[in-house]
Amino acid sequence: MSALIEVRDLRVSFRMGREVHEAVRGVSFDIPANTTVALVGESGSGKSVTAMSIVRLLPDNAIVGADSHIFYEGRDLAHNSAEEMRRLRGKDISVVFQEPMSSLNPVLTVGDQIAEVLRMHFPLGHRAARDRALELLAEVGIPEPRARLDAYPHELSGGQQQRVMIAMAIACEPKLLIADEPTTALDVTVQRQIVDLLAKLQERQKMSVLFISHDLGLVGEIAKQVVVMRHGEVREAGPVGQIFGAPQDAYTRALLACRPRLDTRPRRLPVIDDIVNNRPIVTEQRVSAPSEGPALIEVSGLSKAYRLKEGFFRRRTIDAVKQADFVLHKGRTLGVVGESGSGKTTVGMMLTRLTDATTGRILFEGQDLAALNAAQMRPFRQRIQIIFQNPYASLNPRFTVGQILMEPMKIHGIGADDDARARLALGWLEKVGLPAAAFGKYPHEFSGGQRQRIAIARCLTMQPEIIVCDESVSALDVSVQATVLNLLLDLQEEFGLTYVFISHDLAVVKYMADDILVMNKGEIVERGSAEAIYANPQHPYTRQLLAAIPRGYEAAVPA
């Protein structure tokens, strides 16, 4: 099989002040013609830097090694002129980025942005470029493409925005499409649609795809070749069946083992160090806490409606949540699953009273939380906490970690003085696995997984009984995700915590939850134990969600 792209001894460093940090260290691999190659690895492994080196979209402080080569049709892209690279980008080699809203121009219509790509590389008039843009929107499955042609990016859903990015990327029928984490932030059903679309386009246009992801389930379904990277080096490469079925490198085995599976529920998930250091893997299965006795919280008829302005006089009502009923039992985890817009986050926000319910009751020890005013609700806020999806956005960047942990204790009168609160904060840092030195540092000095641990520690300073986890591990690598999930389970066992675990990752919910609510368009369409729902889903929507779960590697990896 002939190679379309040959990467040879790629070395990329970044100048950071007086220091030089080497991000990619002698990487070599081929991308064959008309096939899909996946780059997998954790954040910081160098996979995105490697991919961006092919199209020369590295920042100004990047230094590419003099002996590095990226061959494409007899040309060395690593040392091509800037003018030659401009002619190649978008035409021969295109990129689909992870976050479409940061890649699409917010002040240009979708049609204008696709037409701009076409007119840059082909001698097309305005009308011809617009007609071709319409064809491309239809090709990538945008509903009502003619109406969407004049829409702005913010008027489209996340999945539709990603389809527009793909339409722009394939407009000039490139020979190589680089897809950099194109489905990370998408729901499981939308993710399935995007992956299926990429596979169809790859086959129809006979192009090669470089697929970058840390989701091994997706990689197992879409890729023919896999390149595993860690710390800027290739640890293992080969056909997907060989790599996933009989991985030779301990790091590859660790990546495969960290991901929660649907067919087993061990008491602890293995993490990277367990596999790399040959530690024994926990095979004992988790046992859920009993649900006997009175419920900790009883929710009935919970609804939330938003009224939106349409023009000067018209108002439109959107029902975000409709008549939700459920109970929370002490020490158990309630999983809430559904697509974006299903109402699951709104339920969590109403439980914590960060959003007021339109109607309904939230009974906690005989008190209806939905009916309390701000002063009456204050003591309950200490007992019901929330961990948000993005810790960097929820942690004050101007506060040190110590200040972040001590502020809520001071507000709620926990600890006699600042010295006592500092000792408590240091204790919670130790409990979540962070060193005492973290106390004086700022959030930007930590990785994503460490920031999430800080967010968990902040919740724990309140000594809560209930924690709402709102997509709290969805943005993390599989290995970091496993570490955080293990931490949450340890804390639940030690302190008897009750969790509401909101996620669109059904494999993670299956691992964490004892009971599950399935939400669609604001309604609870199915409920029951996690085992029962996954083994025998009753509602068509639940079956649709489960069918969309990527399972590309599970058959190859022993339980």
Same domain flag for 546 and 438: yes
Same domain, 227 and 351: no
Average pLDDT of the segment spanning 224-237: 95
Q: Which helix (H) or strand (E) holds 115?
A: helix 110-121
Amino acid in the structure at residue 304: K
Question: Whole-prediction pTM value?
Answer: 0.86
Q: Tell whether 222 and 351 lie within a shared domain.
A: no
Q: Residue 134 pLDDT more than 80?
A: yes
Contact criterion met (CB below 8 Å) for 216 and 478: yes
Residue 142 in any domain: the answer is: no
Instruction: Looking at the structure, tell me whether residues 407 and 550 fall in a common domain.
Output: yes
Distance (Å, whole) CA 359 – CA 188 = 30
Query: What is the C-alpha separation between 463 and 211, in angstroms, rounded?
Result: 43
Q: Within a domain: residue 295?
A: no
Residue 91: its pLDDT value, please? 92
| Whether residue 243 is found in the same domain as residue 390 | no
Q: Do 219 and 350 sit in the same domain of this protein?
A: no
Q: pLDDT exceeding 90 applies to what percent of the chain?
A: 66
Q: Does residue 553 register a pLDDT over 70?
A: no
Element (H, E) at 404: helix 401-411
Q: Which domain holds residue 491?
A: 331-358+367-556
User: Considering the domain boundaries, does residue 134 fall inside one?
Assistant: no
Residue 559's pLDDT band (cuts 50, 70, 90): very low
CATH code (residue 534): 3.40.50.300
- Whether 391 shows a pLDDT value over 90: the answer reads no
Final residue of a domain: which of 247, 276, 296? 247
240 and 342 belong to one structural domain: no
**C-alpha–C-alpha distance, residues 329 and 291, integer Å:** 6
Which comes out higher in pLDDT, residue 206 or 392? 206
Residue 215 lies in a domain: yes
Please indicate, yes or no, if residue 274 is contained in any of the structural domains.
no
Residue 548 amino acid letter:
A
Give, for 401, the enclosing helix (H) or strand (E).
Answer: helix 401-411
Paired tokens of 6: 């040959």
Q: Could you give the CA distance from residue 259 to residue 412 in angstroms, rounded to a whole number?
A: 38
Distance CA 423, CA 260 (A): 35
Q: pLDDT tens digits for 327-370?
A: 999 999 999 999 878 899 999 999 999 999 999 999 998 899 99
pLDDT greater at residue 353 or residue 214: 353
> What is the pLDDT averaged over residues 40-50?
90
How many distinct structural domains can be found in the chain?
Answer: 2
**Arithmetic mean of pLDDT, 88-103:** 87
Per DSSP, the residues of 456-520 read HHHHHTT--SEEEEESTTTTS-HHHHHHHHHHHHHHHHHH--EEEEE-S-HHHHHHH-SEEEEEE
- Of 232, 247, 262, at which residue does a domain stop? 247
Tell whether 192 is covered by a domain.
no
Per-residue pLDDT at 556 exceeds 50: no
Tell me if 517 is assigned to some domain: yes
**Contact (Cβ atoms closer than 8 angstroms) between residue 110 and residue 156:** yes
Question: 247, 268, 301: which is the final residue of a domain?
Answer: 247
Q: What is the mean pLDDT of residues 502-513?
A: 90
102 is a domain residue: no
Three state DSSP letters for 206-260: CCEEEEEECCHHHHHHHCCEEEEEECCEEEEEEEHHHHHHCCCCHHHHHHHHHCC
Which pLDDT score is estimated for 554? 57
- Considering the domain architecture, whether residues 485 and 347 belong to the same structural domain is answered as yes
Paired with 71 in beta bridges are 6, 76
Do 379 and 513 lie in one domain? The reply is yes
Same domain, 424 and 541: yes
For residues 201-217, average pLDDT: 89
Q: How confident is the model at residue 311 (pLDDT cuts 50, 70, 90)?
A: low
Residue range 429-452: average pLDDT? 90
